């Protein structure tokens, strides 16, 4: 009973064929010589080792017979790589440079319907009552005529009438908003919203003068 070629034998033949193809053209007869010698090796393991040696030989010959590897070609490759690196660096600098400021955190705006308090404040800057400091334990320096009809949507009414001067009020986020707090009788909602609003974020009124 004649068994067919084993797995190792087939692999060895494939490797030897690849080695014969890999050898440079001037040495291709040597590749055929190595490949045909496989048929005279009876042991499959020895044939596989022989094929591995053929692969080593062919790749070594291929690497040592590179006709284009000289100093001029190497210098050209180095110059090309340098130019490419400079171009990549310039492109990165153009797209990523100048961004030295850290990104600002997103501030969630309250979805409630706030009055435009800053516009009124701008209008009232000439009024001496706006910039007047709040007296300790006294009344607020807000003209009630500028408040809305319901008395709750008035942004200027957020200034506490009874808050002592200089005392900072911490908001729900632990930040100082310069003496702003919930107006009296505004319900349980957050600062800056009506009582039916549930947004916990405080309003942002950048133009409001702080009490001294």
Partner 1 sequence: MRLDRKSTYVDYQIMPRKPNSSRQTRALLAALLERSRAWRHGYDLAKETGLKSGTLYPLLMRLSEQGLLESRWQEAERPGLPPRHVYRLTASGMALAREQELAALEAETAGALA
Q: Convert 30-67 to b/e letters by CB count within 10 Å (16 or more is b).
A: bbeebbeebeebeebeebbebbeebeebbeebeeeeee
Binding region for partner 1 (CB under 8 A) out of 4-12, 44-52, 124-132, 135-143: 44-52
- Contact present, 137 and 146 (Cβ < 8 Å): no
Judged by beta carbon, residue 52 or residue 168, the one nearer partner 1 is: 52
Residues with Cβ within 8 Å of 5's Cβ and at least 6 positions away in sequence, in order, are 13
Judged by beta carbon, residue 60 or residue 210, the one nearer partner 1 is: 60
The one among 5, 14, 39, 166 contacting partner 1 by CB under 8 A: 39
- Contact present, 16 and 34 (Cβ < 8 Å): yes
The one among 14, 33, 87, 210 contacting partner 1 by CB under 8 A: 33
Site for partner 1 in 46-105 (CB under 8 A): 49-50, 52-57, 60-61
Binding region for partner 1 (CB under 8 A) out of 31-39, 86-94, 155-163, 173-181: 31-39
Binding status of residue 177 toward partner 1 by CB under 8 A: no
Binding region for partner 1 (CB under 8 A) out of 28-36, 78-86, 143-151, 168-176: 28-36
Secondary structure class of 26 (helix, strand, coil): helix
Binding status of residue 11 toward partner 1 by CB under 8 A: no
> In the chain, helix, strand, coil percent, each to 5?
45, 0, 55
Residue 102 DSSP one-character state = P
Judged by beta carbon, residue 24 or residue 161, the one nearer partner 1 is: 24
Residues that bind partner 1 (CB under 8 A): 27, 29-30, 32-34, 36-37, 39-41, 49-50, 52-57, 60-61
């Amino acid at each position: 009973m004649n068994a067919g070629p084993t797995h190792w034998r087939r692999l060895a033949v494939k490797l030897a064929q690849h080695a014969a193809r890999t050898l440079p053209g001037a040495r291709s007869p040597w590749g055929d010589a190595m490949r045909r010698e496989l048929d005279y090796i009876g042991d499959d393991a020895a044939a596989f080792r022989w094929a591995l040696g053929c692969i080593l030989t062919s790749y070594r010959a291929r690497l040592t017979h590179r006709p284009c590897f000289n100093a001029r070609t190497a210098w050209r490759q180095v110059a090309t790589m340098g130019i490419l690196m400079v171009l990549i660096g310039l492109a990165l600098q153009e797209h990523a440079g100048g961004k030295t400021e850290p990104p600002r955190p997103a501030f969630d705006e309250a979805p409630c319907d706030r009055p435009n308090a800053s516009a009124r404040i701008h209008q009232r800057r000439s009024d001496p009552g706006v910039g007047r400091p709040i007296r300790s334990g006294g009344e607020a320096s807000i003209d009630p005529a500028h408040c809305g009809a319901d008395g709750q949507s008035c942004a200027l009414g957020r200034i506490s009438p009874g808050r002592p001067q200089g005392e900072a009020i911490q908001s729900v986020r632990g930040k100082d908003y310069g003496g702003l707090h919930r107006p009296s009788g505004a319900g349980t909602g957050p600062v800056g919203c009506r009582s039916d609003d549930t947004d916990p974020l405080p309003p942002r009124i950048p133009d409001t003068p702080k009490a001294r």
